Chain A
Amino acid sequence: MNRLLPLELIDKCIGSKIWVITSDSREFVGTLAFFDDYVNMVLEDAVEFDYGQQIKSPKVLVNGHKICMLIPGGEGPEPIQG
């Protein structure tokens, strides 16, 4: 049996790259450090993609409220600049 609960799938992503898409059209790519039952997430070396703009932060706590989709290993919508 290799069937994972959704949160177990996210748990397996801790320490690796993840691509987060929110329902208000923001996207984040970063290394997943923590998350909780609300799917609030802490990303390290994160890049936010906000309507073509890229904003980098070493650590980000993303509110889980509008998180829509998570893609393990995702590299984001476009190449990261710099």
Chain B
Amino acid sequence: MDSETQNPRSGMGDFIESIRDTTVMVKLYSGAVYYGELQNIDGYMNVSLNECREIRNGKVVRNWGEAFIRGNNVSYIGAGS
């Protein structure tokens, strides 16, 4: 095993650092989609977003502002688009 697998999250930490303060898409298991500027994320995949918008069928349906999303609901986080 190399150091990456022995030190879990070492590579993940770099990734999270690289997407912090950028606009990310957070998709939940329910299918709900949120866009916002990533404030922070932790080991539970709890996410805090600034200027959070909820998107449904390609349209903004709510502007939540600053929001916290509990990690157990998060399917994935997309960045860089």
A interface residues (Cβ-Cβ under 8 A, vs B): 5, 7-8, 11, 14, 22, 24, 26, 28, 33-34, 36-38, 40, 42, 46, 48, 50, 55-63, 65-66
Nearest 10 Cβ contacts at the A-B interface? A58-B80, A57-B78, A34-B11, A36-B8, A37-B8, A61-B77, A59-B79, A59-B80, A62-B76, A60-B78
Prevailing SS type, chain A contact patch: strand
Once A11-B4, A36-B9 are accepted as A-B contacts, the answer to whether A60 and B15 lie under 8 Å apart by CB is: no
**Which of under 10, 10 to 19, 20 to 34, or 35 or more describes the interface residues of B?**
20 to 34
Q: Which residues of A contact B2 (CB under 8 A)?
A: 11
- Within 1-33 of B, Cβ neighbours of A (below 8 Å) are at 1-2, 4-5, 8-9, 11-12, 14-16, 19, 25, 27, 29, 31
Closest CB in chain A relative to B29 CB, distance in Å: 6
B67 proximal to A (CB < 8 A): no
Partner of A66, one of B1, B14, B15, B75: B75
Which chain B residue shows the least CB distance to A56? B81
Q: Which residues of A contact B11 (CB under 8 A)?
A: 33-34, 36, 42
Closest CB in chain B relative to A9 CB, distance in Å: 11
Closest CB in chain B relative to A35 CB, distance in Å: 8
Q: Which residues of A contact B74 (CB under 8 A)?
A: 63
